[in-house]
Structure 1
Amino acid sequence: MIALLAGVTVVVNAIAAGMATGPVGGLAAGGLGAAFAMWAYAMAVRATERRHVMELLPGREEAASTLWRWTLAGLALFTVTIGVIAVFGGYRIAGWGSIEGAVTVFGTMCAVAVVEELLFRGVLFRIVEEMAGTWGALLVSGVLFGALHLVNPGATGWGALAIAIEAGLMLGAAYAATRNLWVPIGLHLGWNAAEAGIFGVTVSGSGADSHGLLEAAMSGPAALTGGAFGPEASVVAILVCSVPTVLFLRMAHRRGHLHRRPRPSVEHEAV
């Protein structure tokens, strides 16, 4: 399944590179990439696990409602983060970008959010949880999610660690609490779309110029602004995202979704 989803990532990147030349191309690339990734994931689950993909919900209306609610939540979460950075002088609006740029970013981020969440929460988290329990799954998926961003041009070790803590843990906790992949997908999409598509700042050290709704100017210590990696490497982002992480973990505990590491069978112990 991991190999299949890795192949999906390559396909999505190819679609985005070939089509994301404007708002229509960006939306088309994002929609096609996300749809193909979900289809591939569903086929892989049915083939290997012989079950329906309940973590993506069978009802379209319920899935759409969940996605949009949590996309707005992700947008709000980043707005609070950049707002705090601005209060301390680390962010200011330098001018206006374009609506077309914001739409293009949103389309691209649709594919990014879906593919990454299917890989890290839909596949990796569930596989590790079966072997090491929920806490092990949170740790492994979070660390590897942070490590993924080391390939970006402006990546730093601290930036990858920050991503692991603020995003890897939060998104893993969101899935653990709800067992619904649309929740972390929405949070991921809303955060990234707000970051680059609205506030015009660098996403995870990607090194790409943001052409969103606003043109941004950031200045100040890296602990506040995140430096070249972007706001996700700031202490502010870690502190802000720790709040929903704790809330999700409390919800998971109340719902009985924090699973322990499976114990060896009696036969295995006897051996």
Structure 2
Amino acid sequence: MTMFDSARWTHPLHLGERGFLHPGPLRWLRALGWAVALFFLVAITSFSTSDVLGKLWPKTSGPGQLAAHILSALVGLGIYALAVRLAEKRWPSEIALRPLLPQLSVGLLIGGAMFVAVMAVMATFGLYDIQPQGAAPAWRAVSKAIQSGFVEEIMLRAVLLRLVWRAFGPWVAFIASAALFGFGHMPNPNATVFAAVAIALEAGIMLAAFYALTGRIWMSVGAHAAWNFTQGYLFGAAVSGGDFGPAIARSVARPQFPEWLTGGAFGPEASLPAMAICSAVGVAATVMAWRAGQFAKSPT
């Protein structure tokens, strides 16, 4: 028996049964329409809050920028909870607070450990030049990790994955949410089709599997945030083509190796080692969710 066999980790999936999602004609269409509306409602309110609050403090104020991102994440969670309560006539168990700390902690450990494993492979085979830089302020990296971890997981897993699952079942939902997550990175600097496919396969599937396994978004939030923080701050590598700010190391792909092997200027998440390690974790989590009956039983 594993720790995930206990009710502490695996909870029933609540996809929505009442209100706007009541059983009846065209529920699949209502679910899709609600997914689009809720996706943009969370995105607009959360990112607008971050922009407005971020302007209240100088960009050089690390604590101020961190506070802005924390508040924007809380606004996103609050708006999501209120909208689900009003439209679906339920309190959203997928963001229940009781399992937050244990599941978030496990997600943080998994996300950090996965990226360390990726860079261990890179260092072993000489694919990256990794140079220590010394102490550096972490405000910007923590801010970005919170925004990507919390807000993106609400939008991609609590909204899109859940409601497409409601409309068409789990496998279409897995594919749709992973594809949007991967190809949503295409506008980023140095993005390639291979990078988008890599992110869809390694992260899109894995983060969806954590949600399916636990019935909550917290493990996905933790893994997403910790991966980005470890990548951008601890190793100082590019994160989806962007800069996470000051870092305690600097990691750059060696140019003599192909980009599909190292991720190139986009970052290690677009590399073959990352795809292999994260996909293995995603498959394992999917199998565990399957064995726990999260796919087979009728959603509550």
The question of a shared fold, defined as TM-score above 0.5 by the shorter chain, is answered with: yes
Report the CA distance between 1:69 and its aligned residue. Answer: 2.4
What amino acid is aligned across from residue 240 of structure 1 in structure 2?
A: I
Cα displacement string for residues 56-102 of structure 1 (whole angstroms, at most 9, x for unaligned residues): 1232xx312321221121111111011111111112322315431x3
Match of 1:215 among 230, 250, 256: 250
The count of aligned residue pairs is 258
Report the CA distance between 1:213 and its aligned residue. Answer: 1.8
Match of 2:197 among 161, 172, 182: 161
Correspondence 1:189 to 2:225: yes
Q: Partner residue of 1:175?
A: 211
Cα displacement string for residues 223-269 of structure 1 (whole angstroms, at most 9, x for unaligned residues): 2210111101101100000111111111111111115999xxxxxxx
Task: List aligned pairs for 1:246-261, cutoff 5 A.
Answer: 246-258=283-295
Q: Partner residue of 2:71?
A: 32
Q: Partner residue of 1:139?
A: 175
- Aligned-residue Cα RMSD (Å) equals 2.0
Q: Partner residue of 2:25?
A: none
Match of 1:129 among 162, 165, 168: 165
Structure number with the higher helix fraction is: 1
What amino acid is aligned across from residue 229 of structure 1 in structure 2?
A: F
Correspondence 1:87 to 2:149: no
Paired-residue identity, %: 36
Report the CA distance between 1:48 and its aligned residue. Answer: 1.2
Task: List aligned pairs for 1:112-123, cutoff 5 A.
Answer: 112-123=148-159
Report the CA distance between 1:189 and its aligned residue. Answer: 0.5
Does structure 1 retain, via aligned residues, the 8 Å contact 2:144–2:244? no
TM-score norm. by structure 1 comes to: 0.88
Q: Partner residue of 1:233?
A: 270
Cα displacement string for residues 138-192 of structure 1 (whole angstroms, at most 9, x for unaligned residues): 0000001111101112211111111101111110111111111001000100100
What amino acid is aligned across from residue 44 of structure 1 in structure 2?
A: A
TM-score norm. by structure 2 comes to: 0.80
Does structure 2 retain, via aligned residues, the 8 Å contact 1:5–1:40? yes
Segments of 4+ moved more than 4 angstroms: 259-262
Query: Structure 1: which 5+ residue stretches go unaligned?
Result: 263-271
Correspondence 1:65 to 2:102: yes
Secondary structure of 2:43's aligned partner:
helix
